[in-house]
Amino acid sequence: MKRIKTAIVGASGYTGMELLRLLLGHPAVELVAATSRAEAGKPIGAVFPRFRGAPGADLAFMAPDADEIAATGAEVAFLALPHGVAAEIARALLERNVRVIDLSADFRLSDAAVYQEFYDHEHPAPDLLEQAVYGLPEVRADRISAAKLVASPGCYPTSIILPLLPLLREGLVDHTTIVANSMSGVSGAGKKADLTLLFVECNESVRAYGVPKHRHLSEIEQELSIAAGEKVVISFIPHLIPVTAGIATTTTAKLKEGVSPEVVGAALEKAYAGKPFVRLLGKGGCPDTKNVTRTNYVDIGWNHDPRTGRVLLLSAEDNLGKGAGGQAVQSFNLMFGLEETAGLQNF
């Protein structure tokens, strides 16, 4: 198997570490560059002792310079950088014929004005938005395969969009009644010094945050609107829970008049039959984060409350896996004509 020369830009954060875990063991990947300003010059295995002995772990971190990355022969680069920072190096790499999979929010939105509304600054590269493909493999596999620039979805959006999309496409729910509640592990906040993320602040405690207008609402509503064929606005309440990784989401909406609850299961089966990383638990299934952490799977169950006429959609995923690094590798596999599951079927 031909090995694809690959770079990770921003490889020392939590998502970067997950990408290292997946790509160091990927049968079709030759890791040729891993960047980190803080760790430049140090071998990967020295910064992350868990990777000692792994092939490629002696590669030294380098500064995030587009010329130096391109000089390694990298054919593709994963960007695990903050929003607002990723766009600049994405442009530079694209100009050097390096394909880009961006895990920041910089290219997820098709409208630069919406980006400015939710991220509080002008979009850094609006001219690149038209070529960016929103990288949800279960929805846009063909476009991802041909893309030069893939915008990998956010963790919360993945857990909300996948269960809802089939129902909106088929007109089964009243989209004005959608409410999504999510709970995420602390690693979703990124690797940074923040008083609110200290162990003693998070342990044995649960709190809502980012209400009423979390930034991920922008891409959630964009994708749901595309599916529904009209503008969709929802309520979304994220919560921080005292675990390292994992997202559990419960989304509710009223079924339209005359819609039988049983068609919900049929719509999900139709949408995700043959999709390797969507595991449908059926009616009454309640996903558990312990069954998806450190994997690229999203588990989806559903139920119906006849008292309120609401359908209950339940999902669980790893925010660093299917919500970030794993999903990005899934897109990588599509981009290079590999089996979609290559390097990802870990349990």
**pLDDT computed for residue 347 by the predictor:** 67
pTM above 0.75, yes or no: yes
Tokens of 91: 């442009």
Name beta bridge partners: 235.
Answer: 179
Tell me whether domains 4-131 and 155-318 share a fold: no
For the chain, list residues with pLDDT below 50.
none
SS3 9: strand
Tokens of 1: 């198997």
**pLDDT computed for residue 67 by the predictor:** 97
Name beta bridge partners: 300.
Answer: 280, 315
pLDDT, tens digit, 9 for 90 and up, residues 312-331: 999 999 999 999 999 999 99
The domain 155-318 belongs to what CATH superfamily? Answer: Dihydrodipicolinate Reductase; domain 2 (3.30.360.10)
Name beta bridge partners: 310.
Answer: 254, 305
Active site residue 155: yes
**pLDDT computed for residue 236 by the predictor:** 98
The CATH class of the 4-131 domain is: alpha beta
pLDDT, tens digit, 9 for 90 and up, residues 40-67: 999 999 999 999 999 999 999 999 999 9
Domain map of the chain by residue range?
Answer: 4-131, 155-318
Q: Of 155, 161, 172, 334, which one is the catalytic site residue?
A: 155
Q: How far apart are CA 227 and CA 166, in angstroms?
A: 8
